[in-house]
Amino acid sequence: MNALSRLPAGIDPPPEKRRRGARNGPFGVLDIGTTKVVCLIARIEGDGEPRVLGFGWQRGRGVKGGSIIDLEEAERAIRAAVGQAEEMSDTQLSGAIVNLSCGQPDSRLLHVQWPIGGRAVTDADLRAILHEGRRRGTEDGRETVHGSPVSFTVDATPGVEDPRGMVCDTLGARVHLVDASQAALRNLGACLARCDLEVEELVSAPLAAGLATLVEDEKRIGATVIDMGGGTTSIAVFSEGQLIHTAQIPVGGWQVTNDLARVLSTPISHAERLKTLHGGALAAADDEREMLPVPLVGEDEDHIARVPRAMIVNIIRPRLEETFEFVRERLEQAGVAKEAGTRVVLTGGASQMIGARELAARVLDRQVRIGRPRSVRGLPDTAGGPPFAAAIGLLAWGAGEGRPVVDVAPGIDRPQGSIRRLYEWLRDRL
């Protein structure tokens, strides 16, 4: 007998705390990056929180700067990660929620007005004003992935979060759009189709990282999430509880590894090891005396050079400094520096390098903390650190977190039959 069956007669059990948009039954998420592919399979429990049923991880292949450059290699990595998660969970996926990091994602804020004519605002009005924003923001060769309201204005009353049911003559909205290259999105869809998977939803990678690492007060008062991945660094700015800006910089941990390999003439694998074990942006007093073994590329195994740790720091620091300077420039260009507040949260694998936090604080002139993702039931301990923030954030999205009042989220093209193409062509136009 469970606890609910012992409730006194006439007392109903507490309702499930299921958020709007939360998934029913097992669902999958895919974080496809330059250096790794992560698949998680989970279900939403009675309290509205996800429980991981299966976990898969593979070294990234066929992806560069977030975009697919080799379909066959990317397919192998995705199939292997998904296969691990499916075997662990005894579940077969037909689709997944996928992170958006391909196609040079960009975002913009638009101010849109819609005539209401003195009646109450309806769901149809919200959809109409968002579609109008999407129409205005659409550019050739780009596809809108997210379209969500930041805030509404009801006649002369600004700052309205949900205007449904309110009477007005004109409804205004501040609409945030995220778009990406259509060609890159088609390639992503084609790659997933080769893996027998549908792209059920696309979620901006820095948005997912923010859902995993930010607390509610940070989202409300203003914060910037910097997700330092293997091939890219992504930015998400939150204010008043909403995502208001995203950007992506084609620099990540892989570039640091490449710098070490090139300057030290050492194999890529050893450069990665040096970065992981000894890398950092902060110098220590004994760095000149601490000598590290460095095998030279193409030389015999017993031909080992030795370099001071100070040299490793001097190679890594300029690259990290450049990355944070790019972030600062993007925030200034977007005009959201004020709304972003004074709080920065660093996450992603490259954020773990010693001194990254201190260097970011100096370059950005903001308070910085390392964003460790929330704990998730059933998730292996090895998958709970900053490198897995985006994947954990995708789980939060699947649980219904971060969803706006109404969203514009088109699907991704994938190979399909002629009847289905005809149906979707008619549906889109009618």
Contact partners, residue 179, CB within 8 Å, separation at least 6: 105, 106, 107, 137, 138, 139, 142, 143, 144, 145
Task: Please indicate, yes or no, if residue 99 is contained in any of the structural domains.
Answer: no
Mean pLDDT computed over 386-404: 92
Residue 12 has pLDDT above 70, yes or no: no
Task: Please indicate, yes or no, if residue 264 is contained in any of the structural domains.
Answer: yes
Tell me how far apart the alpha carbons of residues 223 and 346 are, in angstroms, rounded to a whole number.
11
Mean pLDDT computed over 345-372: 94
DSSP string, 107-124: EEEEEEEEEEEEEE--HH
Contact partners, residue 121, CB within 8 Å, separation at least 6: 154, 163, 164, 165, 166, 167, 168, 171
Phi/psi at 277 (5° precision): -90, -35
Task: Please indicate, yes or no, if residue 214 is contained in any of the structural domains.
Answer: no
Indicate the pTM of the whole model.
Answer: 0.87
Domain end, chosen from 319, 351, 375, is at 319
CATH of the domain at 132: 3.30.1490.110
Q: Is 6 exposed, middle or buried (0-12, 13-18, 19+ CB in 10 A)?
A: exposed
Residue 366 has pLDDT above 60, yes or no: yes
Task: Please indicate, yes or no, if residue 15 is contained in any of the structural domains.
Answer: no
Domain containing residue 133:
106-179
CATH of the domain at 309: 3.30.420.40
Tell me how far apart the alpha carbons of residues 388 and 347 are, in angstroms, rounded to a whole number.
9
Residue 54 has pLDDT above 80, yes or no: yes
Mean pLDDT computed over 172-193: 93
> What are the angstrom distances between the C-alpha of 279 and each of 259, 358, 398?
12, 14, 35
Residue scoring higher pLDDT (406 or 324) = 324
Task: Please indicate, yes or no, if residue 157 is contained in any of the structural domains.
Answer: yes
Domain count, the chain: 2
Tell me how far apart the alpha carbons of residues 217 and 222 are, in angstroms, rounded to a whole number.
8
Domain end, chosen from 301, 319, 337, is at 319
Task: Please indicate, yes or no, if residue 159 is contained in any of the structural domains.
Answer: yes
Q: Residue 228 pairs with which residues in a beta bridge?
A: 233
Tell me how far apart the alpha carbons of residues 250 and 271 are, in angstroms, rounded to a whole number.
20
Domain end, chosen from 162, 179, 196, is at 179
Task: Please indicate, yes or no, if residue 305 is contained in any of the structural domains.
Answer: yes
Residue 128 has pLDDT above 50, yes or no: yes
Q: Residue 231 pairs with which residues in a beta bridge?
A: none
Task: Please indicate, yes or no, if residue 87 is contained in any of the structural domains.
Answer: no
DSSP 8-state secondary structure symbol assigned to residue 6: G
Model pLDDT, residue 420: 45
Mean pLDDT computed over 50-61: 95
Residue scoring higher pLDDT (203 or 22) = 203
Model pLDDT, residue 176: 92
